[in-house]
Structures are given as structure tokens and as C-alpha cells.
Structure 1
């Protein structure tokens, strides 16, 4: 049986560490329900995690399971910390560099210590009525850097922001996101399909 590990923050966690073990009630569960039983799907997302924390826990949360596939959705908590930091633009760029360095470490360790195919998912944000607008430039910078790292490591990069934006235009903001960051059940359903199509399983 093959192993697929999902790494991420609260969007991946989706309740799996509190009330809905082991896969949570979000896109990972939707993905698992749609693939063959030949795959053992593990949700290792943790609410509140930033990129550095996932990099620190990579061995016990991922590499130890000898995965065939690894999916990574992280970065929006990093973006929030950067955007809301009471510091200079120059210092914020240093904070972004720290996050990208941690992401680089993850991909380096995965490429060195596993044979897994790596899927990187774009972190996303859905501003409304001015809320979280200041996060958008940093989300774009984060996404651009993740895309570049994925290319350097021959990993897949799955664009998520624009597909979800199109669904917001079609269905309305509140149909997709609960708070401009997290997803509704419908949003998770759509993300599960995006991820499944990206895996190509």
C-alpha cells in the first residue's frame, strides 16, 4: 500500500487534532474518499503551524512514514505574521526570507531522504471589505517563491488562489470561505478536487 502524507496548518488539519480524527473534515478527507484503497492517506496538518514548524517536525510527521507522495499547504500563517508585524518593510522582507528558507529545507530533506513525489499547494487569502487586503502582496510574494522552489526541486506546484477566486465569483464569497482564510465545506470540496486533479491519481 502506498503512503500519501498531507502537511499543513489549520486548513489541512480541519479538526483532525480535536474532534474529527484522523483525517479531519476538510479537503484531505475529501481527497482520501476519492482515491483507491491502495493508498494510506495521512493528515499531518496542525492548526497554527508556520513553515518553520513543519520543517522542524518533518522527520517524525512525514519522512518516518516513507511516503510515496507528500502534499504541502503552508504559508498563510507566515503571511499573516509578516503583514501584521509592527516593523519596517525591510524587516518584513527578512521574515519572508526566513519562511522561504524553511520551505527550502523541507524540500531539500524530502528530496534527500525520500523518493516521494512532492506536491506544493499555493497558500491563499480571500479579502473582503478591506479585511486582509494588506496580506495580499505578501501572499503573492510567498506564492512566487514557493513556485520557484518547486521548480528547482522538480516538485509540482498547484495554483489554488485563482481557481478558488473563480468559485467565489460564481457562488459568492460566503459559499467558499468562513472568515477570508478558512474554507467552508463547499470550499474544501472544491480544494479536494483541485488537489486530486493535481495528483493525477
Structure 2
């Protein structure tokens, strides 16, 4: 039985603590229902509001257990309001250092790490100032993925394009979180990336 661990913020969390299966109602749950993963255990340890620092604190406190066949991390959007609305300057230097430390920990427990690009939609308009920070985070994550032989999974441009084609309300509930359709697209992106790693 393979075991896949998912870490991150509310997009991963998706109210998993209120779900009898403890998977939530987002992309992790959708993946677990796919017939390709019938013999796989999915574990959701996402937490609403988590920044990269909070992920690191959780891993230091709780550990990761033994070996995982794959670990996925999606985090970054909550670091942006810390940058914008507090006196704490985080992006790029601190974000990069914290993310690197998280990767150091993950590498001790798996040989397969998928790093999902943080994303943000074009509406509401108040998020327009956030996009440059998403771009900085994405570049950091992409570069660290190369350094750690992890796998960077692009999401931002793809999800934003889907919102333009299908309508913003079809993909996102508030410019950050995803509808069922949005979560389906995110699950598809994860599945495509993971299948490319292990085509058998």
C-alpha cells in the first residue's frame, strides 16, 4: 500500500477535519477517489491559514513519521498578506530560506516531492497587487525544485486561463480558494505531473 502525504494551507486542508474520511472536500479527496489510486493511502495534513513558516513549525513539532512514497506541498499565498500588511518583510529572502528548510526535512522521508505552484486569480481586483509576489514565490519554488530534484508543478497560469475561459465564479469562490471545478483542474494537474514521474 503506497502512502501519499499532502501539506499546505486551506486549499489542501479543505475542511479535512470535518470530513469522515479526513481528506477534505478539495483536490486531495478528488485524487483519492480516482481508480488509479485504489491501493493508495492519502493523508491530508493541510491547515487553513498556513504560511511556509507555519508548515515548518508543524513539521518540527510533529515530525513526518516514516517513509512516504510521495509528498506534495502547496503553500505561499498566505505569505503575501504578511508581506503587505505587517512590518515583516518575508519575500523573497525569508520565504526562500524557510522553503529550503522544509525541503530539507521532506527529503529525509521521501524521494518523490511535488511542489505545486501557488496561484491567485485576476478577480477580485484588490488581489492585483499580489500577483508580483506570486511570481517571486513561483520562481523561488521552481529554482529550489531543481536544486532538490523535486518536481515543480505549474498551476497559476493554467487556472487563471481556465477562469477566463469558463468564468471566474466557475473556478474560484473568492479569488484564492477553488470551486469543485477548480479543485478538479488542480487534481488533474497533480495527476498529470505524477503520472509523468511514474508512467508505469
- Structure 1 length as normaliser, TM-score? 0.90
Cα offset, 1:83, TM superposition: 2.6
CA shift for structure 1 position 102: 1.2
What is the 5 A alignment of 1:42-191?
42-58=43-59, 63-85=64-86, 87=87, 92=89, 94-111=90-107, 113-128=108-123, 130-191=125-186
The match for 1:27 is: 27
Deviates more, 1:14-23 or 1:134-143: 14-23
CA distance in 1, matches of 2:172, 2:59: 28
Match of 1:17 in 2: 17
Distance across 1 between alignment mates of 2:112 and 2:79: 24
- 1 CA distance for matches of 2:57 and 2:9? 14
Q: Which runs of 5+ in 2 are unaligned?
A: none
Indicate the RMSD between aligned Cα atoms, in angstroms.
1.8
SS at match of 2:94: helix
Structure 1's consecutive aligned runs of 4 or more residues displaced over 6 angstroms after TM superposition are none
CA-CA distance at 1:116 after TM superposition: 3.0
- Which secondary structure does the structure 2 equivalent of 1:63 belong to? coil
Cα offset, 1:106, TM superposition: 1.0
Cα deviation, residue 115, structure 1: 3.2
CA contact (8 A) 1:122 1:160 kept: yes
Q: Which range is displaced more, 31-40 or 180-189?
A: 31-40
Task: Check whether the contact 1:122–1:158 (CA below 8 A) recurs between aligned residues.
Answer: yes
TM-score (norm 2): 0.90
Question: Unpaired runs of 5+ in structure 1?
Answer: none
Structure 2 distance, partners of 1:105, 1:161, is 24
